[in-house]
Amino acid sequence: MAEDMEIDDSLYSRQRYVLGDSAMRRMANSNVLIYGMGGLGIEIAKNVVLAGVKSLTVQDPRTSSVQDLGTNFFIRESDVVASKNRAEACSPHLAELNPYVSIMTMTQPLTTSCDLTYLRNYQCVVLTECPLRIQLQINQFCRASSPQIKFISADVLGIFGMTFVDFGDSFEVFDVNGEEPKDIFVSDITKGNPGIVTCMENRVHGLETGDVVTFREVKGMKAVNGRQFPVKVVNAFAFSIGDTSSAEFEPYIEGGIFTEVKVPKTVSFSSLEQQQLEPSLLTPDLCKFDAPPVLHVAYLSLQSYWEQYGSFPKAWDDVDANKLLSIAKGVNNSLKNKVDDLNENFLQTLSRCCTGCLAPLCAVFGGIVAQEALKALTGKFTPLNQWLYLDASEVVPREDIVNLEQFTPRGDRYDPLRICIGEKRCRTLADTRLFMVGCGAIGCEMLKNYALLGISTGSGKITITDNDLIEKSNLNRQFLFRPNHIQKPKSETAAQAALEINPEMKIEAHQHKVCSETENTVYTDEFFESQDIIVNALDNLEARRYVDGRCVTNQRPLMESGTMGTKGHVQVIVPHVTESYTSQQDPRDEDYPYCTIRSFPSTLEHCIEWARDKFEECFVESAQLFNKFFDTHPDLQAVVQELLSGTSINGAVKVSKLLANQPKSWSDCVALARIRFEKYFNHKAKNLLHAFPADKRLEDGALFWASPKRPPRPLEFDPSDNTHVLFVTTTARLYADIYKVNWTEEDLEWKNIESILSQVHVPEFRPSNKRIVTDDTVSKDAASTQQVSDDVVEEAGLRIQRVCQSGNKSAFNRMCALDFEKDDDSNGHIDFIASVTNLRAQMYNIENGDRLKIKKIAGRIVPAIATTTAAVSGLVTIELIKVLHKAPLEQLKNCFLNLALPVILLSEPGPVTKTVLREGLSVTIWDKWEIRGSPAFTLQNFIDQCKEQFGFEASSVVQGVKIVYMPFMPGHAKKLPLLMKDLLKPSPGQKYTDLIVSFDNDDGDDVPGPPVRYYF
């Protein structure tokens, strides 16, 4: 399988960016056993299969039941009718998820008398729905085996879940956090004990005390180069590296780069037997610090209850709940660190719900536990130490507890949910109108959760939209899709797959973008207002902000979430209660100065950015400019005459060069590529060194070529260098593609290209008189704005005239602009960018990058893994239940998680900010004022109405980007008697428009009010 996995990288591409090749290979040779195919077990199994292990065995002695339909998305009604074993019912569906994973089933139960030797076939064993005494026995067996078998147990009991991890006495983690080591420039290293390293330009180093770094390119204190040093953090911009006071360490002069070194770490685990009494607990909820110890007592008490009575406490039975309380007190007394406050009400709630199952909580733990299993197999990321508990007690309706019939099982698929939230809330979910934007990885997981919860199975409806088609790379994390769905619409396919889980759902699938273009046709204000809740399942910032704005305008709650590798976030947005998505500013991506990218790169990222720009310039923008120019100027003779007269035409110079150098054959394309190599990697370097010699100094006497600037080295074309060969081959075929020149696979063979190159005349270097930008503050647009001389304009005219006189009309045929596609390795796009990147890196003495890293950065690829997606979708869905039932702010939870560490932080959403307009009157982003006008309504009427309704004098009125009224502007006073409909120009049938109105407050200051919706 390891070989197959390497070949079929298109299936695992996003995951490789998270786990890396080494971890992927380890997984591909690993065998996993999961016991229990209930709601939690199937979630774990799904994620492990998508990740790509060698084999998965699912073991379960139970038969499929009606209740399984509400928690297990792979069990069908036909399986229940046939009393099919749960493992056997699920295995065909698991096998469909990943063709490279072998799925096996076992149906015998785990008992105290079992022969456990078969467990030695597995590197990791995961137990769910398993009594504690069996867990203890199997944990002991796993620890006694050689090598030790990694052990995980997990359960979801009603409204709370748990997991326990034991990877043995000595478990090596080779990458504790999965973060990409970054190169950071040094500005100083002091001689002393300790020696202090300072980052250049106050760059944050991001290190922790105990991390290890290595140095290179340090001048002066050369002794640090190539050596590893443990660091002690001084502040965000400096750290110490030990004693540098000896003669071995000469004084630092300049330069240098340090990089964090990934150092393996050994982790030791305690057995389950030891951890029962002295647990190591993670605290995920910042608002419930006391919950984990109480949940530990609850879990041990429920296991003890099972041992005594052969079952868990009956649903909403106070007698059984009191029995559990009595057991809990004894369990608490047995712990090494007793819980001071057992919170009996909380324990009673857990007891009443424990026979139910909250499906989205299974998704949360399914993602977390599967990630722990992958850690066990690969040694990648820090394992959990050692218990995790999480509860969703806020979903239990306190107001309905007086009517216990609300929670009574009815023998249908919703019993597990009904026991947790009651029939009334089940009906609310069934009648919900929900709009979800995006049907990718998170969208698929969401739809599965909705199907299990029975959302929109009554009078409600789910509307989903996604304009993308399914690609092969989607399959290992967008689990509703199969190979036969490739190139089919995501939304329609996801809807059909969700209906297979729950045929009672009502789903409408669209393929529209949610954007300004559909705002007045499909996703109108009326559409948004008709929805109970909006869910974002998006992967880009711009779309998130747009949907957030629409939700604020129409006062709809929004569930926002996202993932990046092992990291994820959840944000709950409720009208008039919380802040919105755009209330907080996301950190900006790092922008590089234009001059750095253009002439002075110092990192591989700079080289990648330049390569990406060159792709756009050569194969996209040039073709678009060429086509647009001749579309706009069809009269070629007129164009020539204007240019020859010295009249400049926008784009003419560039277009004339494209015409003059237009290749007519494959040989011409190869020649263009070879000349392009000389220009990019030889002449550019020579020109820079001509303008700025190696010994050039600045006005203050400092060397021009001082760190981080690096003097370039002109590259000589070498046909034996694979990177040189790749550049010429790929560039030639891309030129052929845009100029529509035919080529064959045989043409790409190097022996054929080499014979063409022997005939190519390579121009000699001539210094350019173009100004080289050295100012970091100058933008690309400003740098490219140069006055074109009359000579250059006339020369462009002559070029076009010569082509016209040649009679070659085909020279003016439209070019084919390429559409950059990162996921098709056969198109040469990433090959071009990788070769350009590494050639430029060689030119500037920067370490080359591997193709995978270059592809990730150039393609702006967001790393993704199914485990994080599952966990985030579960957390979002739990919050969705709360929002639909009007939970107060203190019961809602935002979340940030990083499964690599692992860190899970739940916290109360930020409350909405209030702006005081005057004493007694404040507004928020959610407020919207209204003015009802009429056909005869004038601007003066509008301003008078503002004064009467809101108590303020309007100081400005703005519609979109148009200023309607601003008193101090010339002529605006004359607008007062004009009709509002004439000023605002509504389209036919338009009922209202939203205006931004500013007011003069009591102090005469200008105060922006909330949007004012004016009805015509």
- pLDDT of residue 1 exceeding 50, the answer is no
Domain annotation covers residue 292: no
pLDDT in tens, 736-746: 999 999 999 99
Q: Are 193 and 399 in contact (CB under 8 A)?
A: no
- How high is the pLDDT of residue 589? 58
Name the DSSP class of 254.
B
Mean pLDDT of the chain: 94
Q: Are 349 and 861 in contact (CB under 8 A)?
A: no
Structural domain count of the chain: 5
- The Cβ of residue 511 has, within 10 Å, a number of other Cβ atoms equal to 15
Residue of 867, 907, 206, 181 whose CA lies nearest to 567 = 867
Where does residue 647 rank: exposed (0-12), middle (13-18), buried (19+ CB within 10 A)?
middle
CATH code of residue 655: 1.10.10.2660
Q: Are 206 and 182 in contact (CB under 8 A)?
A: yes
Asked which of 261, 291, 310 is the last residue of a domain, the reply is: 261
Q: Are 317 and 404 in contact (CB under 8 A)?
A: no
- pLDDT of residue 3 exceeding 60, the answer is no
Where does residue 388 rank: exposed (0-12), middle (13-18), buried (19+ CB within 10 A)?
buried
The stretch 409-431 carries a mean pLDDT of: 97
Least confident piece of the model among 213-217, 231-235, 500-504, 947-951: 947-951
Least confident piece of the model among 52-66, 134-148, 753-767, 1000-1014: 1000-1014
CATH code of residue 244: 2.40.30.180
Asked which of 206, 230, 261 is the last residue of a domain, the reply is: 261
Beta strand pairing status for 232-235 and 894-898?
unpaired
- pLDDT of residue 1003 exceeding 80, the answer is no
Q: What is the pTM of this model?
A: 0.93
- Rounded-to-integer distance, Cα 240 and Cα 197, Å: 6
pLDDT in tens, 104-131: 999 999 999 999 999 999 999 999 999 9
The reply to whether 595 belongs to the active site is yes
Percent of the chain with pLDDT over 90: 86
If asked whether residues 152 and 253 sit together in one domain, one would say: no
- How high is the pLDDT of residue 1000? 76
Domain annotation covers residue 882: yes
Q: Helix, strand, coil % (nearest 5) of the chain?
A: 45, 15, 40
- pLDDT of residue 586 exceeding 90, the answer is no
**How close are the terminal C-alpha atoms of the chain, in Å?**
67
SS3 state of residue 128: strand
pLDDT in tens, 775-801: 888 887 777 766 667 788 999 999 999
pLDDT in tens, 720-737: 999 999 999 999 999 999
Residue of 226, 254, 222, 258 whose CA lies nearest to 240 = 258
- pLDDT of residue 256 exceeding 90, the answer is yes
pLDDT in tens, 514-540: 999 999 999 999 999 999 999 999 988
If asked whether residues 161 and 23 sit together in one domain, one would say: yes
Helices and strands in the chain, H and E counts: 32, 33
- How high is the pLDDT of residue 4? 43
If asked whether residues 899 and 943 sit together in one domain, one would say: no
- Rounded-to-integer distance, Cα 586 and Cα 427, Å: 37
If asked whether residues 585 and 649 sit together in one domain, one would say: no
The stretch 661-690 carries a mean pLDDT of: 97
Domain annotation covers residue 328: no
- Rounded-to-integer distance, Cα 604 and Cα 40, Å: 43
CATH code of residue 949: 3.10.290.60
- pLDDT of residue 7 exceeding 50, the answer is no
Least confident piece of the model among 237-241, 298-302, 670-674, 951-955: 951-955
Beta strand pairing status for 1012-1015 and 992-1000?
antiparallel
If asked whether residues 546 and 679 sit together in one domain, one would say: no
If asked whether residues 564 and 640 sit together in one domain, one would say: no
CATH code of residue 92: 3.40.50.720
If asked whether residues 88 and 194 sit together in one domain, one would say: no
Q: Which amino acid is at 324?
A: L
The stretch 476-495 carries a mean pLDDT of: 94
Q: Which amino acid is at 683?
A: H
Domain annotation covers residue 339: no
Find the angle CA(11)-CA(13)-CA(16) to the nearest 5 degrees: 120
If asked whether residues 609 and 740 sit together in one domain, one would say: yes
Distance of CA 510 to the CA centre of its chain: 23
Helix axes 790-806 and 652-660, enclosed angle (nearest 10)? 40
Residue 124, Ramachandran bin (φ over 0: left; ψ between -120 and 50: alpha; else beta): beta
DSSP assignment of 687-734, as one string?
HHHHHS-TT-B-TTS-BSS-TT-----PPPP-TT-HHHHHHHHHHHHH
Place of tokens 């979903």: 395
If asked whether residues 887 and 928 sit together in one domain, one would say: no
Structure tokens at 545: 């902000």
Domain annotation covers residue 401: no
Least confident piece of the model among 17-21, 187-191, 349-353: 17-21
If asked whether residues 149 and 203 sit together in one domain, one would say: no
Domain annotation covers residue 71: yes
- How high is the pLDDT of residue 786? 61
Residues found in the chain: 1016
- pLDDT of residue 870 exceeding 70, the answer is yes
Domain annotation covers residue 554: yes
Q: Are 139 and 124 in contact (CB under 8 A)?
A: no
Three-class secondary structure assignment of 654-674 = HHHHHHHCCCCCHHHHHHHHH
If asked whether residues 139 and 66 sit together in one domain, one would say: yes
Q: Tell me which residue range forms the domain holding 14.
A: 2-173
pLDDT in tens, 155-205: 999 999 999 999 999 999 999 999 999 899 999 999 999 999 999 987 899
**How far, in Å, are 262, 852, 898, 916, 925 from residue 174 at the CA level?**
7, 20, 17, 54, 47
Asked which of 173, 196, 216 is the last residue of a domain, the reply is: 173
Q: Are 872 and 561 in contact (CB under 8 A)?
A: yes
Q: Are 70 and 359 in contact (CB under 8 A)?
A: yes
Residue of 368, 352, 354, 154 whose CA lies nearest to 874 = 368
Among residues 354, 420, 595, 946, which one is catalytic?
Answer: 595
- Rounded-to-integer distance, Cα 422 and Cα 430, Å: 13
Confidence bin at 760 (pLDDT 50/70/90): very high
Beta strand pairing status for 212-216 and 196-199?
unpaired
If asked whether residues 808 and 676 sit together in one domain, one would say: yes
Domain annotation covers residue 271: no
